[in-house]
Structure 1
Amino acid sequence: MIYLIRHTTPLIEKGICYGQLNIDVTDSFEAEAIEIQKALPAGIEQVYSSPLIRCHKLASFLFPASTINLEPDLMELACGEWEGIHWDAIAPEIIDPWMKDFVNVTIPGGESYIQMHSRVTQCFTRIAEGPHPVAIVTHGGVIRSILSHITKTPLVDSFGAFKISYGCVMQLQASSTGLQYNTLHHVTTEKEQHKPSNFKKQSGG
C-alpha cells in the first residue's frame, strides 16, 4: 500500500502564490494531524516527505518513530518570481500565457507543470518500487500529478478530476490494471485560490 498525504492548512493569506515558499502551518495543525492519523493504519515505517516545513512537520508528527526521508523532488511546483506575490498582483501580460497553457509554459524563474510532473513521477516510481507500506507526505500539486500519472489523466484536466483538500489521505493499491486510488480522508474547506480571481474558467483552470 502507498499512502499519499497532503500537508495541513498553511499559514498564509488566501490568494498568495506559495509553491516552494517555505511557510509554516496554522494553529489548527495538531487537530488536523490527529484526524489524518485516524485515517492511517498502524505499521507504516517507510516515510518520504517534501523537505518544506509544512510537510516535514506533519510527517514527523504522524510517524515519530520512523526516519523521514526528505525528497526535494516531492516539493510543490516552483513558482519562481511569483512566490509570495498575490495572484491578482501579477501583471496580465505576464500571467496570461501561463494561465492559458500552465502545463507547458514555464513560470519565470520557476518551472512548468510538465517539468514538475516529470520529477515527481520519477521520484514516485522509485519509492513505489521500494518497501511497502509507504507514506508520502507532500503537496496538492504533487498528489494531483501522481494521480494523473497512475490514471493516465491529461495534466490539463487534473484540477477538475482530483479534489485534494488540506490534510487529505489517498490510498493507492495494486490491481490487475495498475494502481487504483481511494480517498481515506477529505476535509471540505474554504475554496483555495491558486490563480487570479478574475480569470475566466477554461479547461484545466
Structure 2
Amino acid sequence: MIYLIRHTTPLIEKGICYGQLNIDVTDSFEAEASQIQQVLPADIGQVYSSPLMRCHKLASYLFPGQTIHLEPALMELACGEWEGVHWDAIPSEVIDPWMKDFVNVAIPGGESYTQMHSRVTQCFTRIAEGPKPVAIVTHGGVIRSILSHITNTPLVDSFGAFKISYGCVMQLQAGATGLLHETLHHITTEKEQHKPSNFKKQG
C-alpha cells in the first residue's frame, strides 16, 4: 500500500500564491493531524516527505521516531516571482499566458505543471518500487500529479478530476490494470484560491 497525505491547513491569507513558500500551519494542526492518524495503519515502515515545513511537520507528528526521507522532488509547484504575491495583484499581461496554458507555460522564475509532473513522477516511481507500506506527505499539486500519472488523466483535467482537501489521505493499491486509488480521509473546507478571482476558464 502507498498512502498519499496532503499537509494540514497552511498559515497564510487566502488568495496569496504559495508554491514552495516555506510557510507554517494553523493552530488547528494537532486536531487535523490526529484525524489523519486515525485512518493510517500502524505498520507503515517507510516515510517520504516534501522538505517544506507544512509537510515535514506533519510527517514528524504522524510517524514519531521514524526516519523521514526528505525529497525535494515532492515539493509543490515552484511559483517563482509570484511566491507570496496575491493572485489578484499579478498583472493580467503577466499571468494571462500562464492561465491559458498552465500545463505547458512556466511561471516566471518558476516552473510549468509539466515540469513539476516530470520530477514528481520520477520520484514517485522510485518510491513505489521500494518497500511498502509507504507514506508520502506532500502537497495538493503533487498528489494530483501522481493520480493523473496512475490514471492517465490529462494534467489539464486534474483539478476537476481529483478533489484534494487539506489533510486528505489517498490509499493506492495494486489492481489488475495498475494502481487503484481510494480516498480514506477528506475534509470539506472553504474553497481554496489558486488563481485570480476574476479568472474564467477558457473555451
Same fold? TM cut 0.5: yes
Deviation at 1:154, TM superposition (A): 0.1
Distance 1:201 1:35 in 2: 35
Query: 1:45: how far off?
Result: 1.5
Alignment map for 1:66-85 (pairs within 5 Å): 66-85=66-85
> What is the 5 A alignment of 1:78-117?
78-117=78-117
Q: CA deviation at 1:24?
A: 0.2
Aligned to 2:132: 132
Cα distance in 1, alignment partners of residues 202 and 14 from structure 2: 22
Give, in whole Å, the separation in 1 of the partners of 2:65 and 2:32.
20
Deviation at 1:178, TM superposition (A): 0.1
Q: Secondary structure at the match of 1:5?
A: strand
Identity rate, percent = 87
- Matched residues in 1 for 2:93 and 2:158: separation? 25
Aligned to 1:38: 38
After TM superposition, the structure 1 = structure 2 runs for residues 110-189 of structure 1, keeping only pairs within 5 Å, are: 110-189=110-189
Task: Give unpaired runs (5+ residues) of structure 2.
Answer: none
Number of residue pairs aligned between Structure 1 and Structure 2: 203
TM-score, normalised to structure 2's length?
0.99
What CA distance in whole angstroms lies between the structure 2 residues aligned with 1:30 and 1:202? 40
RMSD value over aligned CA atoms? 0.7
Instruction: Encode CA deviations 1:7-51: one digit per residue, 9 max, x unaligned.
Output: 000000000000000000000000000000001111112000000
Separation in structure 2 between the aligned mates of residue 154 and residue 199 of structure 1, nearest angstrom: 21
User: 1:83 offset after TM fit, Å?
Assistant: 0.1
**TM-superposition CA deviations, 1:48-105 (whole Å, max 9, x none):** 0000000000000000021000000000000000000000000000000000000000
Distance, in Å, in 2 between the alignment partners of 1:142 and 1:202 is: 24
Cα distance in structure 2, aligned partners of 1:132 and 1:45: 7
Which letter does structure 2 place at the counterpart of 1:98?
W
Tell me the distance in 2 between the aligned counterparts of 1:107 and 1:201: 18
TM-score in terms of structure 1 length = 0.98
Instruction: Write out aligned runs for 1:60-71 (5 A).
Output: 60-71=60-71
Aligned partners of 1:174 and 1:67: how far apart in 2?
Answer: 25
List per-residue Cα deviations over 1:96-118 (Å, max 9, x = no partner). 00000000000000000000000
**Aligned partners of 1:202, 1:172: CA distance in 2, in Å?**
33
The match for 2:198 is 198
- Letter of the 1:8 partner, please give it: T
Secondary structure of the residue aligned to 1:30 is: helix
* TM-aligned CA deviation for residue 202 of structure 1: 3.7
**Within the alignment, does 1:17 sit opposite 2:32 as a pair?**
no
Q: Give the residue type in structure 2 aligned to 1:191.
A: K
> What is the aligned partner in structure 2 of residue 56 from structure 1?
56
Give, in angstroms, the shift of residue 201 of structure 1. 2.6
Instruction: After TM superposition, give the deviation of residue 176 of structure 1 in Å.
Output: 1.1
